[in-house]
Amino acid sequence: MKVLVINCGSSSLKYQLIDSDTENVLAKGLCERIGIDGRLVYQKAGLDKEITEAPMPTHKEAIQMVLDALTNEKTGAIKSLSEVEAIGHRVVHGGEKFASSTLINDDVIKAVEECNELAPLHNPANLIGIRVCAELMPGVPQVAVFDTAFHQTMPPKAFLYGLPLKYYKDYKVRRYGFHGTSHSFVSKRAVEFLGLDKDNSKVIVCHLGNGSSISAVVNGKCIDTTMGLTPLEGMIMGTRSGNIDPAIMEYVAKKENLDIKGIMNVLNKKSGLFGLSGDLSSDLRDLESAAGEGNENAKHALEVLAYDVAKFVGGYVAAMNGVDAIVFTAGIGENSGTVRKMVVQYFGYLGITLDEEANNTRGEEIVISTPDSKVKVAVIPTNEELAICRDTVALVK
């Protein structure tokens, strides 16, 4: 079955056409600058990327351009749109309404709309993608795959904040967690790859990218995760602060004459590795090379990152009363042997020793702890699009 996977952002859209039987990507790309000017990147498997600048006033024109590229006579991956048998959409926030992926119908759209307030930048864009696909490809079943769904198994002690209960009851203020599709995919794969017993397993997934989150997974079910009501909570990220003393907000607001919006902008866009490195970069590669050249701010940013990961992992080892495997994934987790080494140095108390040679390997599933380590540490590349494709097929078949 050919499945179109769509991840709609506010001004961008990523897509992949996947053959679910072989799990091969037939074509992929993205639309950028939707509503500004418009740029389509399209790549059929085995061919070079094509870049087309063209006006995309709304997501409708963007999706139409993707469909035209997919069916283009010369470079299209399919002959006709009728070959697309299902569409899977990434939806950021499913609130407490969705604990798993679901076939989209009018009731689902309404329920997703009710979660818009919890993810005002993302959910409305996801819904536009769903509506435009329904219009341009009527009759093709669509599935919503939620970033929050995997974390819905967290118990109240993990998802409640120490705030007036009214905020949870009336405004749904609680920990939801994000990157769920990745945490689910990687934790399942870890159990298979490492030969763990799926009904008796304790896995910690460190999804370290621009946005980063860590989750604790017992017997395949998430019991805790670092992101919260929003993706701002938890560990330090590319430009997001992660956890801070909430009172800093009032203190800095007065000093810098900022309102709530201004403070939120700082916490989301000007903090994290970027802010801590003295506005050097949010990109880990830049920080690694600056640190290599002796830049102290870059060094501190890397140290805070590794220390944060080690502390959350330690907390989850305590929460699970043990751990069988610690897994790194996403841009930093998969690619930075330097960060992994810095993190693993904290794990001596778990009986873990780093296999330096394995740690220097890139781009594949690999165990990076030595055979005599008491807990396994591994790198497992995430693949959110494939996870969305699999869920979509399972629901439409």
Q: Which stretch binds ligand ADP (CB under 6 A): 33-41, 151-159, 206-214, 242-250?
A: 206-214
How far apart CA 225 and CA 315 sit, in angstroms, is 11
Instruction: Enter the DSSP assignment of 50.
Output: E
234 interacts with ligand ADP by CB under 6 A: no
9 interacts with ligand ADP by CB under 6 A: no
Going through the chain in order, the beta strands assigned E by DSSP cover: 2-8, 13-19, 24-32, 39-44, 50-53, 84-91, 102-103, 142-146, 202-208, 212-218, 221-225, 325-329, 366-367, 376-379
Smallest distance from ligand ADP to CB 237, Å: 8
2 versus 207: smaller Cβ distance to ligand ADP: 207
Question: Quick check: 334 and 379 in contact, CB under 8 A?
Answer: yes
How far apart CA 12 and CA 328 sit, in angstroms, is 27
285 interacts with ligand ADP by CB under 6 A: yes
332 interacts with ligand ADP by CB under 6 A: yes
Q: Which stretch binds ligand ADP (CB under 6 A): 27-35, 56-64, 74-82, 204-212?
A: 204-212
Smallest distance from ligand ADP to CB 340, Å: 10
335 interacts with ligand ADP by CB under 6 A: yes
Assess whether 324 carries a catalytic annotation: no
CA dihedral (328, 330, 334, 338) positive or negative = negative
How far apart CA 323 and CA 42 sit, in angstroms, is 42
List 209, 228, 231, 275, residue binding ligand ADP (CB under 6 A): 209
Angle value at C-alpha 370, between 337 and 302, nearest 5 degrees? 25
Going through 193-287 in order, the beta strands assigned E by DSSP cover: 202-208, 212-218, 221-225
Question: Quick check: 241 and 232 in contact, CB under 8 A?
Answer: yes
Q: Is 98 helix (H, G, I), strand (E, B) or coil?
A: coil
90 versus 174: smaller Cβ distance to ligand ADP: 90
211 interacts with ligand ADP by CB under 6 A: yes
Would you say how long the chain is, in residues? 397
202 versus 340: smaller Cβ distance to ligand ADP: 340
Q: Which residue is nearest to ligand ADP (CB)?
A: 331
Q: Which listed residue (48, 68, 147, 283) is catalytic?
A: 147
- Interstrand relation of 13-19 and 2-8 (parallel, antiparallel or unpaired): antiparallel
147 versus 391: smaller Cβ distance to ligand ADP: 147
List 19, 83, 283, 355, residue binding ligand ADP (CB under 6 A): 283
Count CB neighbours of 169 within 10 A: 10
Binding map of ligand ADP across residues 151-190, x = CB under 6 A, - = no contact:
----------------------------------------
List 11, 64, 100, 210, residue binding ligand ADP (CB under 6 A): 210
148 interacts with ligand ADP by CB under 6 A: no
How far apart CA 309 and CA 299 sit, in angstroms, is 16
List 88, 238, 272, 381, residue binding ligand ADP (CB under 6 A): 238
76 versus 331: smaller Cβ distance to ligand ADP: 331
List 29, 177, 272, 331, residue binding ligand ADP (CB under 6 A): 331
Nearest to 222 by CA among 306, 316, 145: 316
Q: Print burial letters for 197-226: b (CB count within 10 Å at least 16), e (below 16).
A: eeeebbbbbbbbbbbbbbbbbbeeebbbbb
123 interacts with ligand ADP by CB under 6 A: no
Smallest distance from ligand ADP to CB 373, Å: 24
User: Quick one: how far is CA 174 from the chain centroid?
Assistant: 19
Count residues near ligand ADP (CB under 6 A): 12
284 interacts with ligand ADP by CB under 6 A: yes
360 interacts with ligand ADP by CB under 6 A: no
275 interacts with ligand ADP by CB under 6 A: no
Q: Is 11 helix (H, G, I), strand (E, B) or coil?
A: coil
Q: Which stretch binds ligand ADP (CB under 6 A): 157-165, 329-337, 347-355, 364-372?
A: 329-337
Catalytic residues: 147
- Residues in contact with ligand ADP by the rule CB under 6 A: 209-211, 238, 283-285, 330-332, 335-336
